[in-house]
Structure 1
Amino acid sequence: MRFFPSFNTFIEIGPLSIQWYAVCILTGAAIAYFLGQYHFKKLGYSKEILSDYVFGLLFVGIIGARIWYVIFMWNELYANNPMETIMINHGGLAIQGGVITGLIYSYFFFKKRNISFLVAGDAIMPGVLIAQACGRWGNFFNQEAYGSAVDLSFLKALHLPQFIIDKMYIHGQYYQPTFLYESLGCVIGFLIIFFIIRKYQQKQGIQFFTYFIWYGVIRFFIEAFRTDSLYVFGLKTAQLVSIVFVIVGLIGFIYCHFKGQDVLEER
């Protein structure tokens, strides 16, 4: 058994290894789960509901994120090596694909249990931002999801820790740490929703739809700096989806504000 045998590997046990990429994703999922449990408990729901929910969500979300990435990178990465499509430990998860498939799964899961989708969304989606923030550090360890080329002085001007600067040196060039931009943006969004929106909301669904507005805006602008974006018809897929997220978020926010049901009283 060896801990940290390489920069992107957390542990090796004989021929098996666990990558930091997986550790970051699972850590984020665990934090989101406990935050969701906190809200569900205060609403009076059994903790078993979210325990049953999270394993299916994690599976569906990862599969959806992988399929989304493979579809848009098929010609570049997988057409000549189809077996690589199952090598998730090599990276290649598109967060937006995971969010979309996760939403579909969530809708049917909570409908079956007669729990309002918007109530569940308010309890769960703020934690998703923390999960995404952690997941971006998995991109850091894989040295992916970086931005345009910059010089060393640019990174030093950001007052970044030296270990981040060092690992932004990839293939003989320094790059913008867009993984860090998005990670910080997600944390800020979580703090706003958790401590401000949640405190003052009066209608169900406000936190849920604020997530889509916030994440859509953050991802749209950060994607402009990315050099490894997925494309469709010559346009960046993530930016197109981000626009849809913002539109849906705004429509949902306005609808909930004026016609939504009052929030459930926490116990």
Structure 2
Amino acid sequence: MDLAYLPSPSTGVLHLGPVPLRAYAFCIILGVFVAIRLGNRRWAARGGDQGVIADVTIWAVPFGLVGGRLYHVITSPDAYFGEHGEPIRALYVWQGGLGIWGAIALGGVGAWIGCRRRGISFPAYADAVAPGIALAQAIGRWGNWFNQELYGRPTTLPWGLEIDRAHRTSDMLDVATYHPTFLYESLWDIGVAALVLWAARRFALGHGRTFALYVAAYTAGRFWTEYLRIDESHTFLGLRLNNWTSVVVFLGAVVCLVVSARRHPGTDDMSRPKDGGGDETAGQQPRPHRRAGDRTMCEKRSG
């Protein structure tokens, strides 16, 4: 018997009369709120208009939820369309199962639409919200704790996570404690947010480089937490699908960092004249010795 362990919640749902309040959903909502709040502060601190981040995020969040669920269902189809699967459960987002890769990809499409509607630079928006997204992921991972899902391999370490028998895999029904990968990733994400905030200030990261740094740092941590997990997943050459995705996305983020640093050194200009609108030139303000090809943060352009 283990002398110490991390307990799991007995339930992830509280009932307010007939209304179920699901902890997983609250974790996601709280994470979104934190991301918007921090992103808005960063945007305003650099001369941007208040409320822009929230306006764009209204587009990004629903797209991200759909993308996250689609990625999960596509990469784990047996649970919904297999021999004993229930297709209707693909719609049960509140029970867990959101793939971050799909959420970021389709959420980015929604954010791009929102940026186009507001006449602002999509890379500039991504830079502003990058550390907030990391914190949102750190908070959202606690939803896995409430649902007792996505835990790691068995362990006897003092911080091993106790999983109820009903939530264990069929071949480990007699094993009680596992690596708390939700906690590992949550702590890593907090560290990523701190790294991004420091680096953006220290090295004047702009033109999408802040977001690229977040992606590179996150995927580095996701690789090793994913390696610990034992939930069902497709594998290729001995590694889980999400491990390979982490490697590919990490390399892509590094390339973006290097290319952007060469083509667009420095940060974006977020200043707006008093009569600035949402057109192509809104947000531009004459600056001495501005190099040809530089773009301001409030210029309209595709990401």
Q: TM-score range by the shorter chain?
A: 0.7 to 0.9
1:136 is displaced (CA, Å) by: 0.6
Residue 238 (1) aligns with residue 252 (2): no
2: CA distance, partners of 1:168 / 1:264: 50
What is the RMSD computed on CA atoms of the aligned residues?
Answer: 2.3
In the alignment, what sits opposite 2:97? 92
> Comparing both structures, which one devotes a greater share of its residues to strand?
1
Bigger Rg, structure 1 or 2:
2
**Residue 256 (str. 1) matches residue 254 (str. 2):** no
Separation in 2 of the partners of 1:216 and 1:233? Answer: 18
Within 5 A, what are the aligned runs for 1:13-24? 13-24=16-27
Q: Show the counterpart of 1:130.
A: 135
CA deviations 1:46-96 (Å, max 9, x no partner) are 333222222221111111111111112112344431111111111111112
Tell me which moved more, 116-125 or 127-136: 116-125
In the alignment, what sits opposite 1:187?
Answer: 190
1:200 is aligned to 203
Give the counterpart letter for 1:183 in structure 2. Answer: S
Match for 1:248: what amino acid? G
Q: What residue is the counterpart of 2:219 in the other structure?
A: 216
Q: How far 1:250 sits from its partner (Å)?
A: 0.6
**By how many angstroms is 1:143 displaced?**
0.6
The structural deviation recorded for 1:166 is 4.1
C-alpha distance in 2, partners of 1:232/1:148?
A: 16
Correspondences of 1:114-129 after superposition (within 5 Å): 114-129=119-134
Aligned pairs for 1:56-205 within 5 A? 56-79=59-82, 80-151=85-156, 154=157, 156=158, 160=159, 165-167=161-163, 170=168, 171-173=173-175, 174-205=177-208
Q: TM-score, normalised by structure 2?
A: 0.76
Question: 1:40 matched to which residue of 2?
Answer: 43
- Greater Cα shift, 89-98 or 182-191: 89-98
Secondary structure class of the residue paired with 2:52: helix
**Helix, strand or coil: the match of 2:220?**
helix
Structure 1 residue 259: Cα displacement: 1.6
CA–CA distance in structure 2, aligned partners of residues 197 and 262 of structure 1: 10
CA distance in 2, matches of 1:26, 1:57: 13
How far off its partner does 1:180 sit?
0.7
User: CA separation in 1, counterparts of 2:251 and 2:18?
Assistant: 48
Residue matched to 2:230: 227
**Are residues 258 and 57 of structure 1, via their aligned partners in 2, closer, same or farther at CA, if it must alter by over 3 Å?**
same
Contact 1:65-1:96 at 8 Å conserved across structures: yes
**What is the CA–CA distance in structure 1 between the aligned matches of 2:88 and 2:137, rounded to whole Å?**
27
Q: Report SS of the residue matched to 1:12.
A: strand
Higher helix share: 1
Q: Single out whichever of 215-224 and 103-112 deviates more from structure 2.
A: 103-112
Percent of counterpart pairs with the same letter?
A: 28
If the length of structure 1 is used for normalisation, what is the TM-score?
0.86
Of 19, 27, 32, the residue aligned with 2:30 is: 27
In structure 2, what is the Cα distance between the partners aligned to 1:261 and 1:113? 25
In structure 2, the CA distance between the partners of 1:237 and 1:188, relative to structure 1 (3 Å rule), is same
Runs of 5+ unmatched residues, structure 2: 1-8, 272-303
Secondary structure, in 3 states, of the residue corresponding to 2:21? strand
1:212 touches 1:248 (CA, 8 Å); kept in 2? Answer: no
Q: Which residue identity is paired with 1:113? A: R
In 2, distance between residues paired with 1:144 and 1:188?
A: 23
Structure 1 residue ranges without an equivalent (≥5): none
Amino acid at match of 2:108: L
The Cα shift of 1:130 comes to: 0.3
Instruction: Give 2:283's aligned residue.
Output: none
Q: Distance in 2 between matches of 1:231 and 1:74?
A: 10
Residue matched to 1:8 = 12
Give the number of equivalent residue pairs: 253
